[in-house]
Amino acid sequence: MANIVEMTAERREEGGKGAARRLRKAGRVPGVIYGGGEAPEMIHVSFVDLLKQVNTGTFESTLVDLDVDGKKVRAIPRDVQLDPVRDFPIHVDFLRVGKGTRIAVEVPVEYINEEASPGLKRGGALNVVRHEVELYVDAENIPEKIVADLSGLEIGDVLHISDVQLPEGAEPVIHDRDFTLVTITGRAAETVEGEEAESEEGEGEEEA
């Protein structure tokens, strides 16, 4: 079961910029709930509660049980608009979800067993291409993370999405290529090239 947070919300009757400004002055953030075969519903939520969730960094991949004037609605945040100057939330969109609903979410990648990578032991560097991967998943079963094992990786090796085990029922949104998650880079190739260059320069000097 995916992590679920609870938030309270109230219906709002007025739309438009003027009404939104009045709500924000009162410590509320306007929003909308849409999808699920129902008409969109205008709401507003507590600025403090919303900011707390946004600051977790995982809000848009977290299920939310919204209590809208006593009616429970399960949804997932789809868009949080931020003030361009103060970086505070000024509007939030929620997508209704039900049993069997599949959605696209960003899931963080955890890289483990760095100490078991010969390439890293020899001074290689971990070049992370993707810290998150967008997956299609069941809304009721959003994974917390993907685990990528670095054991055995040498300098020059590449770990692709096909090299990790995805949670049951999950599939990458990008499906037309085996994209890279991480590479092991290092100085080994540079050192060999440098030695060859020095050797060639030395031979040139001797011939001269």
pLDDT value of residue 36: 86
pLDDT value of residue 188: 47
The residues, ordered by sequence, that sit 6+ positions from 112 with a Cβ below 8 Å of its Cβ are 147, 148, 149, 150
The reply to whether 19 falls in a domain is yes
pLDDT value of residue 4: 87
Domain residues for the domain of 25 are: 4-98
Assess whether 112 and 164 both reside in one domain: yes
Reported as a single tens digit per residue, the pLDDT across 82-116 is 999 989 999 999 999 988 889 999 999 999 999 99
Reported as a single tens digit per residue, the pLDDT across 172-205 is 999 999 999 999 998 644 444 444 444 444 555 5
Among the candidates 98, 120, 150, a domain finishes at 98
- What's the CATH code of the domain at 153? 2.170.120.20
Say how many domains are in the chain: 2
pLDDT value of residue 99: 81
Reported as a single tens digit per residue, the pLDDT across 44-96 is 999 999 999 999 988 998 999 999 999 999 999 999 999 999 899 999 999 99
Assess whether 10 and 94 both reside in one domain: yes
The residues, ordered by sequence, that sit 6+ positions from 129 with a Cβ below 8 Å of its Cβ are 179, 180, 181, 182, 183
Reported as a single tens digit per residue, the pLDDT across 146-179 is 999 999 999 999 999 999 999 888 999 999 999 9
| Token couple for 106 | 């960003």
Assess whether 188 and 154 both reside in one domain: yes
pTM (2 d.p.): 0.74
The reply to whether 171 falls in a domain is yes
SS3 (DSSP) at 79: strand
| Token couple for 198 | 């020095």
Provide the percentage of residues in the chain whose pLDDT is more than 90.
74
- Average pLDDT of span 131-155: 94
